[in-house]
Structure 1
Amino acid sequence: MRVYLPCTLPLLDAACHAGEFGPAPLTAYAVTPALREWYADGDDEELEYAAMAQAARASVGLLAADPDAARRRVVVACEVGAVPPADGTVELGDAQLELHVLVPWSAVASVHLDAGSAAEVVGKAAAVWDAAIAGDEDAVFALDSCEGEDLLWYATQEIPDLLAAEGPHGGPKG
């Protein structure tokens, strides 16, 4: 099953060096029954995109918690074994699940990362994350603005070079 892990550059760097994402439980996003029901007319590609978009939004929350991380959303696409269905308390349209296992680096299929030009928009969203979660309309607008930024795709073999060039905090290593 394809899952999307919200991440930051420092967390990606740590996982790359450790050879795994953890500790469990990990928050992940996937095409869940609740998401499939919400997007009843969506094809598999649209559903995958919706799950990845929810993971990208969650990445902003991780950025809000780490003021030193580069203001770029990171989503890691992984292939994992079957994930048990949600317990029925999930909201319609929700792609979130909880993984109770470590995810090995070998399960990574790709990494999706904002371009450096998105840092201002993403930074504003991270700065108002708590207010957005509380429902403040202006803060929600700032968070929604991130969705206008495309995530770049990186193959797994490109990640070490990307991290070496960017550094874990998003600035050039020197």
Structure 2
Amino acid sequence: MRVYLPLTLAGLAELHRSGEAGPAPLVAYAVTPALREWYLSGDQEELEYAAMSRAAQASLRLLAVDPEAVRRRVVVAADVPDRAAVADPDRAMDPEALAEVRLTEAVPVAKLASVHVDAPDAESDIAAAAAALGAADLGDDDAQFVVDGAADHELLWYGVQEIDHLL
């Protein structure tokens, strides 16, 4: 199963240094049955994009709680055994958790498929979105507009062998 792990650049550096993302349990995002049901007309590629977008939003949340982190969202795509990714049935119909899974084992670098990172020119918008996240969660429409603006920046694709260059 392809999963998308939300990280920061510091988290990516730690994954690179240690040779794995972990320890388990880890929150990741994937094409779950609930996501398929939500996007009835989506093909596999659209569903994968939706799962990755949710991981990018989770990466933004990681940035919001770490004021020292470089303001660039990071999502790592990995292939894990189906048994290692477990969806929470109690949250299956929560729109915020449609693609959320818990990984029951660490993810070795050898299982990574790609890395997705914001371009450096997105940093100011990502910083503003991370700063506005708390107010958006409390219902502030203006803050939500700023948070939604982060999605205007597509994450760039990198091969796993390019992690050194990214760091």
Which residue does 1:65 correspond to in 2? 65
CA distance in 1, matches of 2:135, 2:117: 24
SS in 2 for 1:129: helix
RMSD, matched Cα? 1.3
2:107 equivalent among 99, 103, 106 = 103
Matched letter for residue 157 of structure 2: W
Which residue does 1:112 correspond to in 2? 116
1:157 correspondence with 2:164: no
2:92 equivalent among 90, 93, 98 = 90
Deviation at 1:135, TM superposition (A): 2.6
C-alpha distance after superposition, 1:27-75 (max 9, x if no partner): 1000011110011000000000000000001101000111111111100
Deviation at 1:92, TM superposition (A): 5.3
Gaps of 5+ in 1: 164-174
**Kept in 2: contact 1:3–1:29 (CA 8 A):** yes
Farther off after superposition, 132-141 or 30-39: 132-141
CA distance in 2, matches of 1:32, 1:97: 8
C-alpha distance after superposition, 1:128-163 (max 9, x if no partner): 222222332122111111111011000001111221
Identical-residue share of aligned pairs (%) = 53
**Kept in 1: contact 2:87–2:100 (CA 8 A):** no
Deviation at 1:88, TM superposition (A): 4.4
**Kept in 2: contact 1:5–1:76 (CA 8 A):** yes
Which residue does 2:74 correspond to in 1? 74
SS in 2 for 1:128: helix
| TM norm structure 1 | 0.89
User: How many residues were matched structurally?
Assistant: 163
| TM norm structure 2 | 0.93
SS in 1 for 2:89: coil
Moved over 6 A (4+): none
Gaps of 5+ in 2: none
